Amino acid sequence: MAIAAVDSNQIPYYEIPRELRQAIRSGEFTHYTVGQVPGWVHTNICILPKEYAYEFQTFCRRNPRPCPLLAMSEPGDPMLPELGEDIDIRTDVPQYRVFRDGEFSEDVTDISHLWQDDMVAFAMGCSLSFEEALMEAGLPLRHFDTREDVPIYLTNIDCEPAGRFTGKLVVSMRPFKPADAIRAIQVTTRFPGVHGAPVHIGRPDLIGIEDINQSWQCGEADVREDEIPVFWACGVTPQAVVEHARPPICITHRPAHMLVTDKRNAELAAL
């Protein structure tokens, strides 16, 4: 097993997704997955009762930028064979966030006791994959330098509704020099399965963001004098929308504590 200290907190470091999932399932590993198993796809997770799953699937199809659906389970079946060997969604995510009637209830490290035989698990692409592509292209990511979370904002852009699932688009923002912003658009265009190209660039006011320094959640903006803000659709969007739909139960990953899969980021490249 490949383990190395990843930072001063002595978080073990894994290179092989299956080995990290085993450590998660056994309860050894409950940390965030950012920085783990580089090159492999981490996914956002949303688990809903079947009664809500059909509408949510439709919502994903209508809003592929914030909700790029990579895989979903059969109703009641906790396995996700499309994403890798022996992936059990009840145990293989380091921390889960439980919502009841749309309200945050608790964070847990295992949902075996909450699993219902009508539940459907959705796995969606996440920004870690396109950020890896940006870094490989030599593009600097500010929040990696500052070790802050990426700032996210609630926009005035309506998602395409699907039944009870309605709401505004949430975006993440990364600042770039203009020529790098163009390159970032090119690089992320290749990855539609993990949010793809930006949805907006340069003018926060046009999408309802009055003050770029006031992020809705997470980190500081820090857009420098020679930079422009670039906005990508964000995987927090489905969480916000699910809160609004108020299903009796909904389980997501805890932010940054993702499902790691046996798919390579490079496999998701469209061209």
DSSP letters for 32-75: --TTSSTTEEEEEEEEEEHHHHHHHHHHHHH-TTT--EEEEPPT
Which residue do the tokens 């699932």 mark?
A: 165
Nearer to a copy of itself, 4 or 271 (CB): 271
Judged by CB under 8 A, does residue 158 bind a copy of itself? no
Q: Which of 71, 87, 181, 260 binds a copy of itself (CB under 8 A)?
A: 181
Q: Name which of residues 183 to 222 contact a copy of itself (CB under 8 A).
A: 185-186, 189, 197-203, 206
The residue count for the chain: 271
Judged by CB under 8 A, does residue 226 bind a copy of itself? yes
Task: Identify the CA nearest to 127 among candidates 67, 57, 37.
Answer: 67
Task: Identify the CA nearest to 139 among candidates 227, 221, 204, 209.
Answer: 227
Q: Name which of residues 117 to 146 contact a copy of itself (CB under 8 A).
A: none
11: its two tokens: 């978080």
Per CB under 8 A, which region of 30-38, 71-79, 148-156, 181-189 contacts a copy of itself?
Answer: 181-189
d(CA 184, CA 176) in angstroms, rounded, equals: 8
25: its two tokens: 């399932």
Q: Which of 228, 249, 266, 269 binds a copy of itself (CB under 8 A)?
A: 228
Q: Which of 117, 147, 179, 210 binds a copy of itself (CB under 8 A)?
A: 179
- Considering the complex, what minimum distance in angstroms separates the CB of residue 196 from a copy of itself? 10
Q: Which residues bind a copy of itself (CB under 8 A)?
A: 177-179, 181-182, 185-186, 189, 197-203, 206, 226, 228, 271
